[in-house]
Amino acid sequence: MALNTTCSFTLPGWLEPFVAGWDAPLASAEQRMALAVALAAENVKHHTGGPFGAIVIEEHSNRLLGVGVNLVTAVELSMAHAEMVAVSLAQGASGHWNLGAGKEVQLVTSCEPCAMCFGAVPWSGVRSIVWGACREDAEAAGFDEGDKPADWQESLERRGITTRGGVLRREAARVLARYASRSGAIYHPENSRGES
């Protein structure tokens, strides 16, 4: 039996020109969230993955370090959530696993992090996280967000990672609802639609 010894993913072809054409500033949490939500909406529009988008940004310079969209169904990797993709690509570009080495880095995601992404945040080096839609919005669309401690925000804050939720929540939740209304794949092992 031959073992698979590589694992990789590539962002959809529409993403790079879309981000290159994004001319709105990225100075505020709302402006940054607008890009994350737009990435999620484009991912749904192009049928290239789930309704989630994320960016990694250097806070003081507003320099975009990485972008991601949910690629779970596109590349058949359960860990290919938008946050994980954005952080991985930012780490690859920086050549270091610690994104916060010498700079303040923020993760902006169109939805509250699931259990997996929450767990990855402290190890990535980001110093703050901002999200749009809440767990309830994702679960209303059919997604399983996993088990997180009730005090998950406080646990990040104790580690020096600031948190802010509900930024452009209505807009982000609309992307989730639109995806669900179009019978987009809801991926988790025990999903009620019987999809894989």
pLDDT digits (tens, 9 = 90+) for 89-138: 999 999 999 999 889 999 999 999 999 999 999 999 999 999 999 999 99
pLDDT tens-digit readout, 28-40: 999 999 999 999 9
Query: What mean pLDDT, rounded, does the chain reach?
Result: 92
Contacts of 26 (CB under 8 A, 6+ apart): 32, 35, 55, 57, 62, 64
Contact 58, 71 (CB under 8 A): no
Name the DSSP class of 3.
P
Check: CB of residue 86 under 8 Å from CB of residue 54.
Answer: yes
Give this prediction's pTM.
Answer: 0.93
Helices in the chain by DSSP H: which ranges? 15-20, 29-45, 72-75, 82-94, 115-124, 135-140, 152-158, 169-181
**pLDDT at residue 195 greater than cutoff 80:** no
In the block, residue with structure tokens 């989730």: 176
Q: What is the DSSP letter of 4?
A: P
| Cα separation, 174 vs 195, whole angstroms | 22
Q: Which of 83, 112, 145, 171 is catalytic?
A: 83
Identify whether the C-beta of residue 137 lies closer than 8 Å to the C-beta of residue 111.
yes
- Give catalytic status of residue 190 as yes or no: no
Judge contact between 125 and 101, C-beta under 8 A. Answer: yes
d(C-alpha 61, C-alpha 148), whole Å: 32
Residues in contact with 139: Cβ distance below 8 Å, sequence separation at least 6, in sequence order: 145
Q: What is the pLDDT of residue 12?
A: 97
Establish how many alpha carbons lie within 13 A of residue 39's alpha carbon, considering only the half-sphere containing its beta carbon. 36
